[in-house]
Structure 1
Amino acid sequence: MSVETERQVEALLFAAAGPLSVEDIAKRLPANAEVPAALAALQQRYEGGGVELACVAGRWRFQTAEDLAFLMTQEREEPRRLSKAAQETLAIIAYHQPVTRAEIEAVRGVQASKGTLDVLLELGLVRMRGRRRSPGRPVTYGTTDAFLEHYGLAQLSDLPGMAEMKAAGLLSLDLPPDFNVPTPGGLGAPDEDPLEDGEAPEFHVDFLGEDDPAH
């Protein structure tokens, strides 16, 4: 076996998109090329290195040494896409906070699924602010600092107008005329009390829950 044959086999395996059989390699080389011998020599030369020559299902390929596989692990966060119902609910909370679940339903015109609010709470985009000073003492919701960071806002008064909001993907429906952009200092309401320590409505995550069959 010649050194040149070994180099040619090495080059083919390095550039190949997938494992190659002996026949695949032989087709590319001169008729007298000793492919098996070249593979054996390469396997011995790469043994113990960071990259090894391995035979998998009768085909040959270069691969990372098994003991170094941990170096190739990549962790990344997969962004969770909000459902249409969650986007609409988040928009209403952002522009009308502090807002109760009943008020969210009144603006949207459909009954709110608990699962939708649960997702926004779990993602940290929404928080429970307090209880409204009205019959039933309903819980009010507002946005968080994570909401501002996610949408690149310095403060709530920097919330965009309706057209900009839709372009950013935060809003995908036509809301009633009374859905107004707040003015600086116009957010918040005095008619709520803070939640007591440890107090929180029943919480569960229901990713299948939707507000109505149309969503």
Structure 2
Amino acid sequence: MSVSRDIKIIEAILFASNEPVHEDDLKGKMLNKNNFQNDIKNLQNFYLERGINLIKTGKKWSFRTSEKIKDELIIFKSQKRKISRAALETLAIIAYQQPITRSEIENIRGVQMGRGSIDHLMEIGWIKPSGRKNVPGKPALWITTDLFIEHFSINSISDLPNKDELKASGFLEKRSAIATITDIANEEITSNENIIDEEENLDDFLSNKEI
């Protein structure tokens, strides 16, 4: 691989950063900004079979430990944090319907929600407010964050499975749409709220994912 000045700059910035760097910030340091995609691809290929890999999350880039050796580097085991079923359902709805208000989330779930679910998801860093809806009362709109995308190892929200993909995988057979997505998250569930029928909620819940 030919190592140009721009590639060296991109590499140095990513090594020095303790969090993913937006590609616009990387381009801002380059002499030949139009060659960014080619340079970043060359750098990504260079690290493809090494101990660290260059990973893209949304429009941000970062170096990560290779999946092939990550288990060898574990020193401390993280303690799992319990997330309630209500919080997971709320997260799934926001992921598929964003931007969305709290009242709209309640309409989809069919029950009123306490403040705890939103607060917990914000504390984890998976959701954030994104302006207000232009309706009476100006309710806050909620969206997922880059940390959500990073945690679930997807490139963008569009990579979430749609209804047909979930059905093909067998996830939606005799199960509610919301329960399906929360189970995919593979987190511990601590509450026993009633689950609404798939036929009543599937189309609303996954409307943004229809093809």
TM-score category by the smaller chain? Answer: 0.3 to 0.5
- The TM-score with structure 2 as length reference comes to 0.47
Larger Rg: 1
- Structure with more helix by fraction: 2
